[in-house]
Amino acid sequence: MGAKIKKHPNIITFLGAVEHPLSGLLLVYELIDGLSLEDYFRVKHAHKKTWRPKLKRSLRWGQQIFMALDVLHSACVPIVHRDVKPANLMVS
């Protein structure tokens, strides 16, 4: 039985799963248009080596991440992400 979470603007929508004969179980999620936070930082650093995000922007990103994690952890069957890192966060 899967966990049911409420829709949240900072959480990608799970669409389903399919069984692939060679790859096994594949999870299908909505397509997000944008860059990972890791790629976003890489692009910014390529243009300006000393670039850092402004404090206000960093705090907003952190707030969005914490709100999304709160929804996951508060589900009737709590979900723990276990791999929160810039490569797994999208900037859109």
Residue 41 has φ and ψ, to the nearest 5°, of -65, -40
Q: Is 83 a catalytic residue?
A: yes
> Are the beta carbons of 42 and 50 closer than 8 angstroms?
no
> Are the beta carbons of 40 and 57 closer than 8 angstroms?
no
Give the catalytic positions in this structure: 83
